[in-house]
Amino acid sequence: MGEKRADLLRGTLDLLILKAVSLEPLHGVGISRRITQITKGAFQVSFGSLFPSLHRMEEKGWIEAEWRASDNNRRAKYYRLTQAGRGQLKAEERQWNQLVKIMAAAVQSS
Amino acid sequence: MPKRILSLFRNLFRHTEVEQALDDELRASLEVLTQEKMEQGLSRPQARREALLELGGIEQVKEEVRGVRAGHILDIFVRDARLALRLLIKRPSFTAVAILTFALGIGATTAMFCVVDTVLLRPLPYREPGRLVSFFSVIRGFARNLPAPGDYAYWRTEKNIFEGVAADDSRSYTLTGDGDEAQQLGVEAVSPDLFPLLGVTPLRGRVFGPAEDKPGADHVVLISYRLWKGRFGGDPSLVGRSILLNGEKWIVDGVMRPDFSFPFATTEAWIPINLTPEQLNDLGDHYLNEVVGRLRPGVTAEQANAALVLVGQRMAREHPVPSGGGPKERFFVEPLRVTYTRNARTGLLLLMAAVTFILLIACANVAGLLLSRVEQRQQEIVMRAALGAGRSRIFAQLLTESAVLATAGCVLGVLFAESSLGFLKALIPADLVQSAPLNVDFRVLCFLAIVLLVSTLFFGSAPGVRALRLDLNEALKQAPTRTLTTPRPRLGEVFVVAEVALSIILLIGAGLLLESFWKLYFLDPGFQSDHVLTLSLSTPTTERFVGFNQRSQMFDRILERVRTSPGVTSAAFTSAAPLSLTDAGMIGTMPFIPEGAVLQNGVERAQDRVITPDYFKVLRISLDRGRFFDENDGANSQPVAIVNETMARTYWPNQDALDKRFKFAAAATPTPWIRIVGVVRDVRQMGLDRPPEPEMYFPYRQARGNYMVMEDLLVRTSGAVPVLGDTLRHLVASIDPTQPVSSVTSMSERVNQDIAPRRLRAYLLAGLAGIALSLACVGIYGVMTYVVTQRAHEIGIRAALGATPRDIFRSVLGRGVTLTLLGICVGLAGGAASGKLIAGLLFNVKPSDPLTLTAAVVLLAGVAILACYVPARRATGIDPMVALRSE
């Protein structure tokens, strides 16, 4: 992602991360892969953006982390949605849907 | 949010743990990615490389994560501070000079602020002190006359303007009894309204009320906490009992609180003023020490003054000239605080300005030092920028370095300040009522914090700005291209100009004060102070005139015995020795009418003194015309007076004042004509720096008016003065044991004390100017050395092209001299603009005094050239080959 798009989509990244970990706990690389997957390859999050976001959200209490064994039996830090995170996810989804509606209407009006 | 605060604590205090966790996570992620790539068929090294590429570098990601952590800024600051500390320790001499310089500046500023805070900023210890004012009357020639009781009677009727008005008359009583020795007390006779007006309550008992402020009422007294503790051992049963003042019983109504004093710090007791109806009609005798009022809320001093103009007019209508002692030209009030700090104010503000200059110079110096450091560290800074440090990060790092320096300097500065406070105590007027201890307290620390912040920003941003201007590409090339054009003004050179400008202002100020002091020191006061001892034998003021005859006889006896004592050449009594009534700049005067004079106001005013015949001989005041008093000038002979030159010149211009007559214009009784039998030289009675005023002397046997009472004994001795003090004290005690003796001091000491504030101010300012000069010297030297280093390349080329060492020397020195001259010009302009501030502190010296200006310019230029000399010499030593090769 280019710098400018990253700025524009900073909020979006939060939403995507929350969405990614809402189904099951994931580690950093897993979250990256999941985002690529659920956006059908449209977004490839750089780790330079992902990890800061993860730590920020962890400090905010939206997600929490725990060390556990990964699929191939190596230890990894897994992130899981908290109660607060679930609320945040709902709020962000609502906002996003609203924004999409507004933008769609605006684009079609011309 | 608590979660976030928890994180903050974790980030700050379990830093290693947090970092370790991050490192673990990223390494684990790298491993996951590598595994992923290997599953796609890559070899392990290849997979690892690909994984690193995708991750974007472990350290880079870490830095990104750190950037979002709670307390990130604090974390940066701590790390920057650690780095700064390491860098500073690595260059101890640079660090020491910078810290010491800043400590000097901040120490001087802090110490002076302590004094200014104590004297000028602290509120008076009364309720809502901002609304308290003191009253004065302006009478022709006397700008701040003491009020007369009649004035007070008029002022207190202005109820729309003043919530209350209270009068105060300073008296002196002798406390006896309880077997202790007689103690002379400073007692204030005050209106009972005073205490509610000031908003003070007693510690014990009660304050007296209007019922006790009537003729014939019981004698009641309030005593100070200090007297209660000191003399009466804090006896709780004292209230309601009586104490002996001047041999009479006074019932103690109450004890005041420890922090209460009015109007002097030394006042020990308060009694009702008990003004009679006759006194309240008296507009002529100006003897009240003070009249204070409380303005109604919302009323300004200006409004009060406007109202007082009308009062003056009403009074003139109701008391037409000359029956009442003449119209007051004007009444005015000023804030009580101003009255109390008037003498100290200008001097303190001047010194405060001076230390601010020192601080500015110190800051400029440190800025210059840091600036040259940036130049030396160019490579490091550029490298950091190239590695991705943002401009704000570099700026912040340099600022942190300055902050560390400043904080160290600040701590040292406070130590300087603390140690100088004992010495600066002398700047605080002794009589100040708000006698707070002089120390570095919370208020001062707040001030200090602000100063620290501002000065750090001031000198810390200079290197920051310089660093931001560094051109990455140019600097990285290692061999920056340099031109041989005339060097454009550098930031450091601006500092030189500023330092020189500030220093020259300080030098001129110090020079002017010193010159004033010396002029005063060598001034002929009109009397000879050497070998003269003075003793104060204060008279019980309540019966100032009642026991006149007995007291006269006692004084005669004392004088006779003193005169014949060994070591005494002559002795005299007077109502007030020269320089004994200089406090607060307030003077009482006597209204009189010269015979045959057609005067606009009907009366004139002059100072008056009562003396015994030998007074002029003791002080060696020379007679201009006529004769001195002698024993024949008695109560029943013709009333006579001796006047000073100023009085003779003012009222009998172009005539001989001898044998002219005048009489008192007092309200009550008609007085006889008084003949002038002598004219004496002017004496500087009220302070050496105060021009002589019209003055008249009367023989003590013809004294009239209740203030014409002799108090001061003056003795001319043949030997050393101090030896006689105790002898005379015992002598007085042997004649009248109840007569207190105080203020035993030599006339030279009085002269000394009179000029002491000026001497202190002048010497302090001179010291500060000296500090400024040496700081400026160090600053100029530093900047010029830096400039020479900067120009090494250019100088090398010049030398290679055939410039002689002499040319190079002249070129460098010329630059320094140019900067200095520029600074001197700026400083002279600034000095001229601020001349008004200092004018009030000068004596017989103009702010534009050529001698001082020349001396200051020569001194500063000399020092500046000296400071430039070493770098200039060094420039001539630059080897062209080395200089050229080095780049």
**If you ran DSSP here, which 8-state letter would residue B669 be given?**
S
Mean pLDDT calculated for residue range A7-24? 80
The whole-chain average pLDDT of chain A stands at 84
Bond from prior residue into B92 cis (ω within 30 degrees of 0): no
Q: Using the beta-carbon criterion (under 8 Å), do A74 and B4 form an inter-chain contact?
A: no
**Which among A46, A58, A74 has CB closest to B28?**
A74
Chain A residues closer than 8 Å to B5 by CB: none
High-pLDDT (> 70) share of chain B, % = 89
Maximum average pLDDT range among B270-284, B638-652, B744-758? B638-652
Separation between Cα atoms, residue B522 and residue B532, nearest integer Å: 18
pLDDT, tens digit (0-9, with 9 covering 90-100), for B515-539: 999 998 888 889 998 889 988 886 6
CA angle (B385 as vertex; B383, B391 as ends), nearest 5: 150
Q: Who contacts B415 (Cβ-Cβ below 8 Å, separation ≥6)?
A: B103, B107
pLDDT, tens digit (0-9, with 9 covering 90-100), for B603-625: 677 888 889 999 999 999 999 99
Asked whether B139 and B592 are in contact (CB, 8 A), the reply is no
Separation between Cα atoms, residue B862 and residue B868, nearest integer Å: 10
Asked whether A28 and A75 are in contact (CB, 8 A), the reply is no
Separation between Cα atoms, residue B882 and residue B604, nearest integer Å: 86
Asked whether B535 and B744 are in contact (CB, 8 A), the reply is yes
Asked whether B781 and B864 are in contact (CB, 8 A), the reply is no
Tell whether the model's pLDDT for residue B140 goes beyond 50: yes
Instruction: Give the model's pLDDT for residue B256.
Output: 94
As given in the structure block, the two tokens for residue B484 are 């041989």
Instruction: Give the model's pLDDT for residue B324.
Output: 43
Chain B interface, best mutation among A37, A59, A64, A66, by max B CB count within 10 A: A59
pLDDT, tens digit (0-9, with 9 covering 90-100), for A37-58: 888 888 888 888 889 889 989 8
A108 in contact with B at a CB cutoff of 8 Å? Answer: no
Cβ-Cβ contacts under 8 Å between A and B: the total is 62
Q: Using the beta-carbon criterion (under 8 Å), do A56 and B68 form an inter-chain contact?
A: yes
pLDDT, tens digit (0-9, with 9 covering 90-100), for B562-578: 998 888 899 999 888 88
B248 in contact with A at a CB cutoff of 8 Å? Answer: no
Instruction: Give the model's pLDDT for residue B378.
Output: 74
Lowest mean pLDDT among B295-299, B519-523, B577-581: B577-581
Q: Return the residue matching tokens 């003193």.
A: B562
Chain B, 13-32: which have a CB under 8 Å from a chain A CB? 21-22, 24-26, 28-29, 31-32
Asked whether B566 and B724 are in contact (CB, 8 A), the reply is no
Lowest mean pLDDT among B163-177, B298-312, B808-822: B163-177
Tell whether the model's pLDDT for residue B853 goes beyond 50: yes
Asked whether B16 and B79 are in contact (CB, 8 A), the reply is no
Instruction: Give the model's pLDDT for residue B785.
Output: 84
In terms of DSSP H, where are the helices of B183-247?
194-198, 225-232
The whole-chain average pLDDT of chain B stands at 83
Q: Using the beta-carbon criterion (under 8 Å), do B65 and A55 form an inter-chain contact?
A: yes
Tell whether the model's pLDDT for residue B631 goes beyond 90: no
Separation between Cα atoms, residue B267 and residue B221, nearest integer Å: 13
Instruction: Give the model's pLDDT for residue B484.
Output: 41
Instruction: Give the model's pLDDT for residue B483.
Output: 42
Higher pLDDT, B795 or A4: B795
High-pLDDT (> 90) share of chain B, % = 23
**Which among B4, B35, B55 has CB closest to A59?**
B4
pLDDT, tens digit (0-9, with 9 covering 90-100), for B358-375: 999 998 888 888 887 777
Chain B residues closer than 8 Å to A47 by CB: 29, 54-56, 61
Continuous segment of H or E residues that includes residue B358: helix B336-376
Nearest to B174 by CA among B737, B641, B643, B725: B737
Q: Using the beta-carbon criterion (under 8 Å), do A74 and B35 form an inter-chain contact?
A: yes
Tell whether the model's pLDDT for residue B541 goes beyond 70: no
- Could you tell me the pLDDT band of residue B592, with boundaries at 50, 70 and 90? confident
**Minimal Cα distance from B55: which residue of A?**
A47
- Could you tell me the pLDDT band of residue A3, with boundaries at 50, 70 and 90? very low
Q: Using the beta-carbon criterion (under 8 Å), do B26 and A49 form an inter-chain contact?
A: no
Instruction: Give the model's pLDDT for residue B859.
Output: 93
CA angle (B572 as vertex; B571, B575 as ends), nearest 5: 150
As given in the structure block, the two tokens for residue B778 are 């160090």
As given in the structure block, the two tokens for residue B251 are 């019932």
Q: Using the beta-carbon criterion (under 8 Å), do A29 and B36 form an inter-chain contact?
A: yes
Lowest mean pLDDT among A66-75, B20-29, B315-324: B315-324
Q: Using the beta-carbon criterion (under 8 Å), do A61 and B64 form an inter-chain contact?
A: no
- Could you tell me the pLDDT band of residue A80, with boundaries at 50, 70 and 90? very high
Angstrom distances, CA of residue A20 to CA of A16, B65, B584, B609: 6, 20, 83, 102
Strand partners, B695: B607
pLDDT, tens digit (0-9, with 9 covering 90-100), for B660-679: 888 877 655 667 889 999 99
Tell whether the model's pLDDT for residue B546 goes beyond 80: no
Separation between Cα atoms, residue B387 and residue B191, nearest integer Å: 80
Asked whether B605 and B775 are in contact (CB, 8 A), the reply is no
Asked whether B532 and B744 are in contact (CB, 8 A), the reply is no
Q: Return the residue matching tokens 């030189």.
A: B496
As given in the structure block, the two tokens for residue B601 are 């106001």
**Minimal Cα distance from B52: which residue of A?**
A47
A77 in contact with B at a CB cutoff of 8 Å? Answer: yes
Separation between Cα atoms, residue B876 and residue B614, nearest integer Å: 76
Q: Using the beta-carbon criterion (under 8 Å), do A76 and B28 form an inter-chain contact?
A: yes
CA angle (B352 as vertex; B348, B357 as ends), nearest 5: 150
- Could you tell me the pLDDT band of residue B588, with boundaries at 50, 70 and 90? low
Asked whether B613 and B688 are in contact (CB, 8 A), the reply is no
Mean pLDDT calculated for residue range B212-231? 88
The helix-helix angle for B391-424 and B442-469 (nearest 10°) equals 140
Please give, rounded to a whole number of angstroms, the shortest distance from the CA of B57 to a CA of chain A.
9
**Which among B3, B25, B67 has CB closest to A61?**
B3
Angstrom distances, CA of residue B645 to CA of B83, B658, B688: 75, 11, 17
As given in the structure block, the two tokens for residue B370 are 């840091």
Lowest mean pLDDT among B70-79, B97-106, B642-651: B70-79
Asked whether B221 and B272 are in contact (CB, 8 A), the reply is no
pLDDT, tens digit (0-9, with 9 covering 90-100), for B387-443: 777 777 788 888 888 888 888 999 999 998 888 888 888 787 777 766 667 777 888
- The pair phi, psi for residue B167, each rounded to 5°, is -100, 155
Instruction: Give the model's pLDDT for residue B434.
Output: 67
pLDDT, tens digit (0-9, with 9 covering 90-100), for B144-191: 777 888 889 999 998 999 999 999 988 777 787 766 667 778 889 999
Q: Using the beta-carbon criterion (under 8 Å), do A51 and B26 form an inter-chain contact?
A: yes
Strand partners, A27: A78
**Which among B3, B54, B68 has CB closest to A52?**
B68
**If you ran DSSP here, which 8-state letter would residue B583 be given?**
G
Q: Using the beta-carbon criterion (under 8 Å), do B32 and A70 form an inter-chain contact?
A: yes
Instruction: Give the model's pLDDT for residue B602.
Output: 55
Going by their DSSP bridges, the two strands B604-611 and B695-699 should be labelled as parallel
Separation between Cα atoms, residue B455 and residue B452, nearest integer Å: 5
Continuous segment of H or E residues that includes residue B610: strand B604-611
Maximum average pLDDT range among B102-111, B537-546, B681-690, B782-791? B102-111
pLDDT, tens digit (0-9, with 9 covering 90-100), for B710-768: 778 999 988 776 677 788 888 887 887 777 777 788 898 888 888 888 888 889 899 99
Nearest to B829 by CA among B353, B359, B502: B502
Angstrom distances, CA of residue B462 to CA of B374, B758, B834: 10, 39, 28
Bond from prior residue into B263 cis (ω within 30 degrees of 0): yes
Indicate the pTM of the whole model.
0.75
Higher pLDDT, B456 or B852: B852
B595 in contact with A at a CB cutoff of 8 Å? Answer: no
Tell whether the model's pLDDT for residue B326 goes beyond 60: no
Separation between Cα atoms, residue B87 and residue B245, nearest integer Å: 72
